[in-house]
Chains A and B, each alone.
Chain A
Amino acid sequence: GAVVSQHPSWVICKSGTSVKIECRSLDFQATTMFWYRQFPKQSLMLMATSNEGSKATYEQGVEKDKFLINHASLTLSTLTVTSAHPEDSSFYICSTYRGGVSEQFFGPGTRLTVL
């Protein structure tokens, strides 16, 4: 069964608004979560690494003030896209490791469309 969930699965918003995406680990604690963005027919691009109780580490070129990441608990990380614009429309996916294994488990993804 699924080990990582995301909510919502899809969201449509107006330009200039903020959108929050949740990523939850199911039945286990996730001290580290990764956030990816995927444009149509492209690969996954890592945006940031989220560590529980500390600041996220952003990849080069990712605006940390635009993509706010909060990892306040061992089972929940959130990505907030602030002042969203049409170019932020994408498929956002989170992932994490489950303790003791090096496999990354990916969430089902969130489709964001900014009008």
Chain B
Amino acid sequence: DAGVTQSPTHLIKTRGQHVTLRCSPISGHKSVSWYQQVLGQGPQFIFQYYEKEERGRGNFPDRFSARQFPNYSSELNVNALLLGDSALYLCASSLEGTVNTGELFFGEGSRLTVL
């Protein structure tokens, strides 16, 4: 079975541009979460979606937005890119809307470089 898949794997943008990152969860998983991992640090929570509704939002500016589609795939959008947005963006899926009862399955991430 396919794991969590993310695209693109690598991309380079310039300041002020917009980026869209995509994620397909494991088949049957209804919850998708997004994390930002800056080099040398642990992942930081951005969003969680469950059954197409936002269930949690981390401490990120409104330039960051996301949505979940009827097939449970998800997009993360970042507008007006800043140099500090350069990071590995991780998508994770799980069966339910909680992490306490099950594990998160992570994709390999999309590495964004902002010049």
A and B are interacting partners: no
